[in-house]
Structure 1
Amino acid sequence: MKNIILLLALTALIGACNGGSNTEKLKSKLERLEKDIQAKTIEAAELKEKIAELDPEFSKVTDQSVLIKSETIKQQDFKHKIQVQAEVASRKNITMGAETMGRVTQVNVSPGDMVKRNQLLVKLDAPTTENSIKELQTALDLAKTIFEKQKNLWDQKIGTEVQYLEAKNRKESLERQLATAESQLAMAYIRAPFNGRINDVSVNTGELVQPGMPILNMVSQEEMYLKAAVSEDYINDFNQGDSVEVYLPSIKRSFSTVVSSVSYVINPANRTFQLEVKVNEFVDKLKPNQFAKLTLVDYENENAIVVPSDVVQQDNIGDFIYVVKSENNQNKAQKVRIERGKSYEGMTEILKGLKAGDKIISEGYREAVSGIAVRLAQ
Structure 2
Amino acid sequence: MKPASFSLLAILLSSALTGCDSAESAIQPSPVVRPVKLMTIEDMAQAQVRVFPAKIAASQQADLAFRIHGELVKLDLSEGQYVKKGQLLAKLDDRDAKNALLNAEASHELAAVDYDRKKELFARKLISKAEYDTARATLKSARAALNTARDQLAYTRLEAPFSGTVARVNLDNHQMIQATQKVLTLQGNSQLDVSIQVPESLLLSLKNNSFDDTFNPKVRFQAPKTLAIESGFTPTVLTSGTVMTYPVQYKEHASTVSQGSQTYEVVFSLIPPKDLNILPGMSAELMLDMTAHQGERQAITVLPLSAIVRSDNEQITSVWRYNAESGKLESVPVTVGQLRANGIEVLSGLTPGDEIVEVGANALKDNMTVKPLRWERGV
> Given the two structures, how large is their TM-score scaled by the length of structure 2?
0.60
Partner of 2:246: 255
- After alignment, is 188-197 or 119-128 more displaced? 119-128
Counterpart-to-counterpart distance in 2, 1:94 and 1:114: 14
User: Alpha carbons of 1:250 and 1:212: their partners in 2 closer, same or farther (altered >3 Å)?
Assistant: farther
Partner of 1:264: 255
1:212 and 2:204 equivalent? no
User: Alpha carbons of 1:212 and 1:133: their partners in 2 closer, same or farther (altered >3 Å)?
Assistant: same
Partner of 2:138: 170
User: Alpha carbons of 1:256 and 1:13: their partners in 2 closer, same or farther (altered >3 Å)?
Assistant: farther
Alpha-carbon shift at residue 178 of structure 1 (Å): 1.8
CA contact (8 A) 2:335 2:346 kept: no
**Percent of residue pairs bearing the same amino acid type:** 16
AA at the equivalent of 1:287: L
Counterpart-to-counterpart distance in 2, 1:362 and 1:133: 79
User: Alpha carbons of 1:302 and 1:13: their partners in 2 closer, same or farther (altered >3 Å)?
Assistant: farther
User: Alpha carbons of 1:195 and 1:232: their partners in 2 closer, same or farther (altered >3 Å)?
Assistant: same
Runs of at least 5 residues in structure 2 that lack an aligned partner in the other structure: 1-27, 35-43, 225-242, 320-330, 357-379
Partner of 1:288: 280
Question: How big is each residue's C-alpha offset from its partner over 1:319-355, in whole Å with a ceiling of 9 and x where there is no partner?
Answer: 479xxxxxxxxxxxxx9987443699xx9535xxx9x
User: Alpha carbons of 1:309 and 1:86: their partners in 2 closer, same or farther (altered >3 Å)?
Assistant: closer
Runs of at least 5 residues in structure 1 that lack an aligned partner in the other structure: 1-11, 24-75, 322-334, 355-359, 367-378
User: Alpha carbons of 1:342 and 1:154: their partners in 2 closer, same or farther (altered >3 Å)?
Assistant: same
CA contact (8 A) 1:240 1:262 kept: no
Question: How big is each residue's C-alpha offset from its partner over 1:85-119, in whole Å with a ceiling of 9 and x where there is no partner?
Answer: 11111132222223322111222433333222222
User: Alpha carbons of 1:281 and 1:147: their partners in 2 closer, same or farther (altered >3 Å)?
Assistant: same
The 5-angstrom pairing of residues 106-255 of structure 1 reads 106-232=74-200, 234-237=202-205, 239-241=210-212, 242-250=215-223, 252-255=243-246
AA at the equivalent of 2:128: T
Counterpart-to-counterpart distance in 2, 1:228 and 1:276: 7
Q: CA RMSD in A?
A: 4.1
Counterpart-to-counterpart distance in 2, 1:79 and 1:282: 27
**Number of residue-to-residue matches in the alignment:** 274
Counterpart-to-counterpart distance in 2, 1:261 and 1:157: 67
* Secondary structure of the corresponding residue to residue 341 of structure 1: strand
Alpha-carbon shift at residue 216 of structure 1 (Å): 1.7
1:96 and 2:64 equivalent? yes
CA contact (8 A) 1:342 1:349 kept: no
> Given the two structures, how large is their TM-score scaled by the length of structure 1?
0.60
CA contact (8 A) 1:77 1:302 kept: no
CA contact (8 A) 1:129 1:181 kept: yes
